[in-house]
């Protein structure tokens, strides 16, 4: 399937209470979960395809996966449900990945006329998320709290929020509206923000956008999921 913009959405993530495995314990509903721990033996967490190549590994703690209703969880298995909340203010998401390389040219390469390079060990993934100023968006307020003190007056109380930097957990569906049996495509990307812009033009919508950098330590992943019958 060739995905278009209308096939995907950006979500913020709310983590629920951990679900602890035990005798006869199963998942109550299908959805995305973050793995906290995996049982040393007879785990209910799915294993890798036996036909996969040498570059494939099993799921591990801190990774995200799609758990299906009825999946068993034995003692030692602990997963955290992920509630996806569609972010209302967003219009566009840009995503760019960059690699590094190192020049390892020596005199042995002179005859080739070309420099020799080795791939770097690390990759950077950055981008920006754009939309409009929306006063009722909790996700937008969380972003604002990083760059300024925020006061919320609800008529009964006045609450002051200090400026605090945090990790933002997002899920992007690139191909969510697909036919049954086709592949959905999801991106779990935890990000830190690096710049926020909130303009106020004389007329028209007020733009809101921020630049982000993906935090590799939080196990970002691209997830291909076969669409099941509703």
Per-residue pLDDT tens over the stretch 12-39: 999 999 999 998 899 999 999 999 999 9
Determine the average pLDDT of the residues in 141-151: 95
Task: Give DSSP secondary structure letters for 158-191.
Answer: EEEE-----PEEEEEEEE-S--TTSEEEEEEEEE
Q: What is the pLDDT of residue 230?
A: 66
Structure confidence by residue, pLDDT tens digits, 169-193: 999 999 888 888 889 999 999 999 9
By the 8 A CB rule, do 43 and 76 touch? Answer: yes
Determine the average pLDDT of the residues in 129-158: 95
With bands split at pLDDT 50, 70 and 90, how would you rate the model's confidence at 210? very high
Q: How far is CA 162 from CA 76, 142, 148, 149, 207, in A?
A: 38, 11, 8, 5, 24
Task: Give DSSP secondary structure letters for 40-54.
Answer: SSS-SSPPPPTT--T
Determine the average pLDDT of the residues in 55-73: 95
Rounded Cα–Cα distance for residues 82 and 73 (Å):
17
Determine the average pLDDT of the residues in 150-160: 96
Q: Which DSSP helix (H) or strand (E) runs through 26? A: none
Q: Which DSSP helix (H) or strand (E) runs through 214? A: strand 207-214
Q: What is the pLDDT of residue 4?
A: 76
By the 8 A CB rule, do 193 and 127 touch? Answer: no
- Secondary-structure breakdown of the chain: helix, strand, coil percentages, each rounded to the nearest 5: 10, 45, 45
């Amino acid at each position: 399937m060739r995905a278009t913009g209308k096939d995907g959405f950006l979500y913020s993530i709310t983590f629920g209470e951990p679900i602890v495995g035990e005798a006869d314990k199963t998942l109550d509903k299908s959805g995305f979960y973050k793995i906290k721990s995996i049982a040393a033996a007879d785990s209910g967490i799915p294993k890798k395809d036996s036909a996969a190549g040498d570059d494939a590994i099993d799921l591990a703690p801190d990774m995200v996966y799609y758990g299906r209703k009825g999946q068993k969880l034995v003692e030692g298995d602990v997963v955290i449900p992920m509630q996806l909340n569609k972010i209302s203010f967003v219009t566009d998401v840009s995503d760019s990945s960059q690699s590094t390389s190192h020049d390892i040219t020596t005199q042995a390469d002179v005859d080739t006329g070309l420099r020799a390079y080795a791939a770097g060990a690390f990759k950077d993934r950055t981008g920006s998320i754009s939309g409009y100023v929306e006063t009722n968006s909790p996700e937008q307020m969380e972003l604002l709290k990083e760059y300024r003190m925020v006061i919320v007056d609800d008529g009964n109380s006045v609450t002051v929020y200090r400026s605090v930097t945090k990790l933002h957990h997002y899920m992007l569906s690139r191909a969510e509206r697909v036919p049954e049996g086709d592949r959905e495509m999801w991106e779990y990307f935890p990000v830190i923000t690096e710049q926020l812009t909130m303009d106020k033009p004389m007329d028209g919508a007020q733009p809101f956008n921020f630049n982000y950098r993906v935090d590799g330590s939080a196990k970002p992943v691209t997830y291909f999921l076969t669409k099941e019958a509703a």
